[in-house]
């Protein structure tokens, strides 16, 4: 089994950089928050015969939704990269790198922290020197082009149930906070916790505040926001597809596994957490890697991506 070690993400406890990333994300989320129920989302929650939840009028409760493969099919950072490539922010070879990273994410069915760090580094090098306002404006266009049609209706309905109950709903994602905020706003959610890139006088420096909002950092962000907003985490809900988000899911009294990977499914069943699966296929690879990648000849490239990752390790 040792030979398969490269398939297993490393589990890490919260570090000082995780805490810094979480606190920065919470601060950014509060600044950009919208009133609850800004828009109405499509879809209706499932009738499962479970006790009524969320509880209407419980303002000390909120909901936290992971983004990639929970709210939206695929990775937001990749779709954003496609949009920037279309606008000639970088060269085709860098788009191919984005595509291979997305293919690996779908093929392996896990969020490898090291692999995700590569994607974040790519994105930071691309936006360095650009104005935050410029990327926000472009992000609105990219949402319409690549993301709007990839939202899971079932997850949207779950978010709407919390809004209808008068509760706040936040995205929690490793995607850039600006991108996450755009998605949250377009979905009528309260706001977003995301990776905070450093900027000086409105211009990106190419550095992060802390680290990517992933794994333990997500939990730190939720904890910091809950403290700032006066939320009772035992009355809150969290939704994710990935076992990397177990720290965040474990913080709340109502954890949900949405489109779960195998490790999260097993963990959720062992603790009697609620599960929802809105996928038509059992594995993310069945969703269609070439279409998600957006470049020709990627069907054969997925195997090459795996081989390349093996050689690098």
- pLDDT, position 189: 97
- pLDDT, position 82: 83
Residue indicated by tokens 């978010």:
159
**N-to-C CA span, the chain:** 16
Residue 58, token pair as written in the block: 């419980």
Catalytic site positions: 66, 68
Mean pLDDT by 10 residues, the chain (313 residues): 34 59 64 50 43 80 96 88 82 61 51 57 73 92 94 95 95 92 96 91 87 88 95 97 95 96 96 92 37 30 34 40
Residue indicated by tokens 């950089």:
17
Sign of the CA dihedral with 191 first, then 195, 200, and 206 last: negative
- pLDDT, position 122: 60
Measured between alpha carbons, how far is 164 from 184 in angstroms, rounded to an integer? 16
- pLDDT, position 79: 86
- pLDDT, position 284: 38
Measured between alpha carbons, how far is 65 from 251 in angstroms, rounded to an integer? 13
CA nearest to 224, candidates 243, 251, 201:
251
C-beta separation of 217 from 210 below 8 A: yes
DSSP class of residue 253? S
- pLDDT, position 219: 95
Measured between alpha carbons, how far is 80 from 265 in angstroms, rounded to an integer? 29
CA nearest to 225, candidates 190, 187, 198:
190
């Amino acid at each position: 089994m040792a030979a398969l070690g490269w398939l297993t993400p490393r589990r890490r406890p919260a570090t000082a950089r995780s805490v810094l990333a979480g606190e920065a994300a919470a601060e950014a989320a509060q600044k950009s928050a919208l009133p609850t129920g800004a828009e109405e989302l499509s879809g209706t929650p499932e009738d499962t015969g479970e006790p009524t939840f969320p509880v209407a009028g419980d303002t000390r409760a909120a909901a936290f939704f992971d983004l990639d493969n929970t709210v939206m099919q695929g990775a937001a950072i990749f779709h954003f990269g496609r949009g920037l490539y279309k606008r000639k922010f970088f060269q085709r070879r860098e788009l191919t790198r984005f595509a291979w990273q997305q293919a690996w994410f779908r093929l392996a069915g896990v969020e490898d922290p090291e692999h995700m760090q590569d994607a974040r580094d790519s994105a930071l090098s691309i936006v360095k020197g650009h104005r935050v306002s410029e990327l926000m404006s472009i992000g609105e266009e990219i949402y319409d082009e690549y993301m709007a049609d990839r939202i899971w209706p079932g997850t949207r309905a779950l978010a709407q149930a919390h809004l209808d109950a008068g509760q706040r709903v936040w995205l929690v994602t490793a995607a850039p906070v600006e991108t996450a905020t755009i998605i949250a706003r377009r979905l009528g959610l309260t706001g977003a916790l995301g990776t905070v890139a450093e900027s000086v006088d409105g211009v990106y420096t190419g550095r992060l505040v802390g680290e990517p909002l992933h794994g333990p950092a997500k939990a730190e962000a939720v904890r910091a926001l809950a403290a700032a907003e006066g939320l009772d985490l035992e009355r809150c809900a969290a939704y994710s597809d990935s076992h990397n988000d177990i720290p965040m899911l474990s913080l709340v009294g109502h954890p949900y596994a949405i489109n779960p990977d195998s490790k999260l499914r097993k963990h959720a069943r062992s603790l009697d957490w609620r599960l929802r699966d809105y996928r038509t296929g059992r594995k993310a690879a069945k969703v269609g890697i070439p279409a998600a990648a957006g470049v020709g000849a990627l069907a054969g490239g997925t195997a090459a991506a795996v081989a390349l990752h093996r050689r690098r390790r």
